[in-house]
Amino acid sequence: MALVEKVPSMKLERCFEDDECVRDCILSWPIHCTNLIFFEERQDVFGLFEDPQTWLGNTLEGKSAQMKNSLLKDMLEKDGSNRLPPFKDYLYILHPGNKWKRRYCVLRSSGLYASKKRGSGISDLARVTAFGDHLYLYTTIGGWLKDNAPTPYGFVLKILVYK
């Protein structure tokens, strides 16, 4: 079971973190909003632990079960040196003027970076966002036709400002 926040006005939802205070989230909502909090059975909440190959892809190919467990342990320790391996793929990013542009993106533990072409060096990557304590990942639950999105699968990194 997962505790889910749903923001119908923006067609977004997210699962709460285990250590997150629900009160702080509710206090960040505007007055008279239609946001919801509810419990829901979610298959993807603990997916990283149940099936790491699906979530981490090529980083675990050909490794023994002991090495896979060691990698997961290192990633989850606060002072672990390995952290999450960089994930690289193409994403569509919404630019000013409601134009979607396909960019090569690199997800690192420090933030999300983008470049116009694949294989670009580190100096060619532009930081889209830096990860912090109040940055949360929401997934889209509709509205992609209205926004002329190139795909129905989307996410938003949203900052929660507590009042």
pLDDT band at 128 (very low <50, low <70, confident <90, very high): confident
User: What gap in Å lies between CA 46 and CA 52, rounded to an integer?
Assistant: 10
How far, in Å, CA of 154 to CA of 133, rounded? Answer: 22
Instruction: Note the pLDDT tens digit of each residue in 102-114.
Output: 999 888 878 889 9
Q: What is the pLDDT of residue 142?
A: 84
Range name among 51-55, 88-92, 133-137, 154-158 with the lowest pLDDT average = 51-55
Q: What pLDDT digit, counting tens, does each position of 38-72 carry? A: 999 987 777 766 776 666 665 555 666 666 666 66
Q: What is the pLDDT of residue 155?
A: 87
How much is the pLDDT for 68?
Answer: 63
Percentage of the residues of the chain whose pLDDT score is greater than 70: 73
Give 96's pLDDT tier (boundaries 50, 70, 90). Answer: confident
What CATH number is given for 2-159 in this structure? 2.30.29
Q: For 13-45, how does the pLDDT look when each residue is reduced to its tens digit (9 = 90+)?
A: 999 988 888 998 999 899 999 999 999 998 777
The overall pTM is greater than 0.75: no
